[in-house]
Amino acid sequence: MSEKEPINKPLCFVLMPFGTKKDAGGKEINFDAVYADLIKPAIENAGLQPVRADEELAGGMIHKPMYERLIICEYAVADLTTANANVYYELGVRHAVRPHSTVLLFAENTRLPFDVGPLRGMPYSVDSSGKASNCSIDTEKLTRLLNEARQRRTDSPIFQLIDGMVLQDLDHAKTDVFREKVNYSATVKERLAEARKKDVNAIDAVKAALGPIRDVEFGVLIDLLLSYRAVEEGWKEMVALVEEMPIPLANTVMVQEQYALALNRNKQGEKAERVLLNLIQKRGPSSETYGILGRVYKDRWNEAYDAGEKLKAQGLLAKAIDAYLKGFQTDWRDAYPGINAITLMEIQNPSDPRLEELFPVVKYSVMRRIESGKPDYWDYATLLEWAILKNDQDTASSALSNALANIPEGWKPDTTLNNIRLIRKARESRGKDSVWMIEIEDELHKSIQ
């Protein structure tokens, strides 16, 4: 750090969606890439410290740390591209308490809702994959706007329209405590990133240093939960952590889904089923929830089949297919429940007559993911399974290579390996050639060891 660089830079809070979302015209925008390639560099170039609203990973809930960010951060950047309800609510709170230093931006060709249409905002360019495509120029523009915001010109429509609005001064002690929390959270997340490279014990050590779970910021707890998921055999610890969490966080959709996933992997399938069915009843269907429910039924089918309970196994297999199919029908863009549905339809004896109708739909779904965004392990694993089901050895070989190069968590290849073994055994029982699948299984097995 240079002598002239301030130790505590002004904080700039970033209000924006996470992951890949569709804009009003149906185009997918990769907001994580927009943040990393455009917004964060611009904030740092303006001499500010970026603070992203990572609590949205917990379901977009507004809580005390979020309000602290909205009110205390000296500057803010809000991406209005998708008319995200959380972003707009947060922007309203920001405008109500801060007369200036809030910068708006949105992907080009975005049609803003009427109430925010007149506000000044900066359009940025995106390419066909949804990433920022003109980074050097757009970063420079955003940096300039943030520097102009230092002039403290009123940009809040509330303060512009209502004479005599009084800005409440914040106690410096409170601001200092908030800054300490931000720096502390960043430090904890760095420690968790290192712990994920090791084992459950390393993550346990980070957790122990946090103190009472009820006092830990929600964003840190989510990172802790996903860190347990990322290491081998962290399922029991995931279950325990969710059961320690504050109720508002524990009841969010994402946490409940991960709780059910961990329960199932921890041999508590019936409890996982109850959690997921309750979630669907209260929050409505989603491809993710039904996908996990399908996995619960599939694991119970395996157990019943291995125990020789053929009638029970047949019923559980039908329930697994139904859950996966409902998940795929909920969101055709999510190929994960779709591939699992057709895999189990292939295994079913006789095979499901809907199988041939679903083959092209599942392939289209996963190919769109691979071609238009940043594909991950599951995308290539899905294409691998699809190619095996279609006996397409060339596509299977290519998909396997890409899948092995994109493994972020050790337990994922194990899931794919189990599915391929199920397909091979079902085909062998029908006298069909499946020798070539064994080489694929061997490669996946090596990646697990």
Q: Tens-of-pLDDT digits for all 449 residues of the chain? A: 444 444 567 888 898 888 787 776 677 888 889 999 999 999 999 999 888 865 444 444 445 667 777 777 888 898 888 877 778 888 888 888 788 888 988 888 777 665 555 567 888 988 888 888 888 899 999 999 999 888 878 777 777 777 766 555 554 444 445 555 566 677 888 888 899 888 899 999 999 998 888 878 777 888 899 899 988 789 999 999 999 998 888 888 889 999 999 999 999 999 999 999 999 999 899 999 999 999 999 999 999 999 999 999 999 999 999 999 999 999 888 898 999 999 999 888 887 888 889 999 999 999 988 887 678 888 999 999 999 999 999 999 999 999 988 886 555 688 889 889 989 988 888 888 888 999 999 988 888 76
H/E segment holding residue 246 = none
Distance CA 359, CA 375 (A): 20
User: 51's torsion region: left (phi>0), alpha (psi -120 to 50) or beta?
Assistant: beta
Distance CA 291, CA 300 (A): 15
**What is the C-alpha end-to-end distance of the chain, expressed in Å?**
42
pLDDT for the residue numbered 397 = 94
Architecture of domain 11-163: 3-Layer(aba) Sandwich (3.40)
Query: Are the C-beta atoms of residues 48 and 146 closer than 8 Å to each other?
Result: yes
Q: What token pair was written down for 284? A: 């409505």
Residue with tokens 């549905």: 341
Neighbours of 12 (CB within 10 A): 27
pTM of the complete model beyond 0.85: no
The gap from C-alpha 27 to its chain's centroid, in whole angstroms, comes to: 18
pLDDT for the residue numbered 228 = 93
Which amino acid does the sequence have at 308? Answer: G
The gap from C-alpha 231 to its chain's centroid, in whole angstroms, comes to: 17
Query: Are the C-beta atoms of residues 339 and 378 closer than 8 Å to each other?
Result: no
Distance CA 108, CA 354 (A): 41
b/e for 253-278, b at 16 or more Cβ within 10 A?
bbbbbbbbbbbbbbebbebbbebbee
Query: Are the C-beta atoms of residues 229 and 262 closer than 8 Å to each other?
Result: yes
Which amino acid does the sequence have at 111? Answer: R
Tell me the DSSP string of 188-201. Answer: HHHHHHHHTTS-HH
H/E segment holding residue 105 = strand 102-107
**Alpha helix ranges (H) inside 118-171:** 135-149, 157-161
Distance CA 123, CA 131 (A): 14
Q: For residue 144, give Cα distances in angstroms to 6, 102, 116, 119.
A: 20, 13, 22, 17
Query: Are the C-beta atoms of residues 386 and 396 closer than 8 Å to each other?
Result: no
